[in-house]
Amino acid sequence: MTQISIVVPVFNEQESLPELSNWISRVVNDHGFSYEIIFVNDGSTDGSWSEIQRLASLNPAIKGVNFTRNYGKSAALDMAFSKASGEVVITMDADLQDSPDEIPELYHMIVEEGYDVVSGWKKKRYDPISKTIPSKFFNGVTRWISGIKLHDFNCGLKAYKLKVVKNIHIYGEMHRYIPLIAKWNGYTKIGEKVVEHRARKYGVTKFGLERFLNGFLDLISVSFVNRYKKKPMHFFGTLGTVSFMSGFLITIWLIFQKVYGLYQGSKVREITDQPLFFLALVALIVGVQLFLTGFISEMMTSNNSRKADYNISDQVNLED
Ligand code: UDP
Ligand code: MG
């Protein structure tokens, strides 16, 4: 069995690729590891794909997948996870900000120390302040929501047991939450390693504030879906019950008022003329609708197969 699969998402990183693949190969060869490098070209508009093909033609351990367009880092990682065959799978950014020198220690932590996931921590970070400040905030909130005590969820350098990556699926901006998703799936031994970080040597960053916000929205929906995907009725049914019961209680109150008024002999408005009656009606209808939504979700989840959200146009040194 191959010992290490190194997975690298690539979006317009042509200049970095030769240096990166040489560096990785040198480190793993020095330590005598059997390995593969899987580059996923995520719709680059520069010569990244030709570069990957060229490197793959020189070294059979270098493999490549070419997306038809830019699907995002999560899709690229998801694709590579499905192709990976190494006992330990290590993800790494293509821009030379992560150091391949960390590979042996990450491998050791997974295999010898038995971690399911080891996440890199860029303790000394070489990024502009416009990235590091939102990042601190993001990490704080993610720690709080997930209960996982990592300092640096977004670090591109992470290592996994093979079975972990085979059992999780990521899309959108979810690559930031892989440790969290792993934990939900029962892979709870999650570790952290301080890793060397470097300034970007070539090209520019692809992640701005907008993707940060999308990441937060993904976290909310992912947490929500994770919690209710097997039991949507628990969510919709609870809301539906609250709504329906409010409508019901208001109606009882209106009837009580009417009857009491008649009993007292005073003149009381028709129930249907009361403004509260309108509110009760809406609450009753919304309640029923929420229940129906719950039923539909239950029916859908029972035959819900995941569909791939990317397309490949080409690949090298890989079978289908
Ligand atoms: N990346 C990708 N698809 C995208 C954006 C980025 O595959 O749509 C890759 C990119 O080529 C790099 C990694 O994801 O290998 C991290 O991107 P970047 O260095 O821009 O992020 P930063 O380090 O600035 O957070
Ligand atoms: Mg980077």
247 in contact with ligand 1, CB cutoff 6 A: no
Q: Which residues surround ligand 2, an ion (CB under 5 A)?
A: 93, 95, 97
Taking the centre of ligand 2 as the mean of its atom positions, its distance from the CA of residue 107, in whole angstroms, is 22
Q: 65: which strand partners?
A: 40, 315
Nearest CA to ligand 1 atom 23: 205
Task: Determine the Cα–Cα distance for residues 194 and 203; give it in Å rounded to an integer.
Answer: 25
Note the pLDDT of residue 305: 47
Nearest CA to ligand 1 atom 19: 205
pLDDT in tens, the chain (320 residues): 999 999 999 999 999 999 999 999 999 999 999 999 999 999 999 999 999 999 999 999 999 999 999 999 999 999 999 999 999 999 999 999 999 999 999 999 999 999 999 999 999 998 888 888 988 998 998 898 888 999 999 999 999 999 999 999 888 888 999 999 999 888 999 999 999 999 999 999 988 778 778 878 887 887 888 788 878 899 999 999 999 999 999 999 999 999 999 999 888 888 888 899 999 999 999 999 999 999 998 888 765 544 556 888 899 999 87
pTM of the model: 0.82
132 in contact with ligand 1, CB cutoff 6 A: no
**List of E strands, 68-210:** 88-91, 117-121, 158-161, 190-194
Taking the centre of ligand 2 as the mean of its atom positions, its distance from the CA of residue 121, in whole angstroms, is 14
156 in contact with ligand 1, CB cutoff 6 A: yes
Nearest CA to ligand 1 atom 8: 72
Task: Determine the Cα–Cα distance for residues 18 and 84; give it in Å rounded to an integer.
Answer: 21
3-state helix, strand, coil in the chain (%, to 5): 55, 15, 35
13 in contact with ligand 1, CB cutoff 6 A: yes
Ligand 1 atom, smallest distance to 8 CA: 15
Ligand 1 atom, smallest distance to 93 CA: 15
Note the pLDDT of residue 230: 79
Half-sphere exposure of 203 (CA within 13 A, CB side): 21
How many beta carbons lie within 10 A of that of residue 194, not counting itself?
13
Note the pLDDT of residue 83: 97
Taking the centre of ligand 1 as the mean of its atom positions, its distance from the CA of residue 204, in whole angstroms, is 9
73 in contact with ligand 1, CB cutoff 6 A: yes
Mutate to test the pocket of ligand 1, among 6, 7, 8, 11 (most ligand atoms within 8 A of CB): 11
Note the pLDDT of residue 303: 59
Whether the complex's predicted ipTM is more than 0.95 is answered with: yes
Task: Determine the Cα–Cα distance for residues 7 and 82; give it in Å rounded to an integer.
Answer: 11
Task: Determine the Cα–Cα distance for residues 142 and 140; give it in Å rounded to an integer.
Answer: 6
Ligand 1 atom, smallest distance to 12 CA: 11
9 in contact with ligand 1, CB cutoff 6 A: yes
Task: Determine the Cα–Cα distance for residues 233 and 213; give it in Å rounded to an integer.
Answer: 29
Q: Helices 232-264 and 209-228, interaxial angle, to 10°?
A: 80
Taking the centre of ligand 2 as the mean of its atom positions, its distance from the CA of residue 200, in whole angstroms, is 6
Task: Determine the Cα–Cα distance for residues 298 and 183; give it in Å rounded to an integer.
Answer: 25
Task: Determine the Cα–Cα distance for residues 157 and 103; give it in Å rounded to an integer.
Answer: 9
70 in contact with ligand 1, CB cutoff 6 A: yes
- Asked if 159 and 117 count as a contact pair (C-beta separation under 8 A), the reply is yes
Residues 6+ apart with CB under 8 A from 253: 276
Ligand 1 atom, smallest distance to 72 CA: 8
95 in contact with ligand 1, CB cutoff 6 A: yes
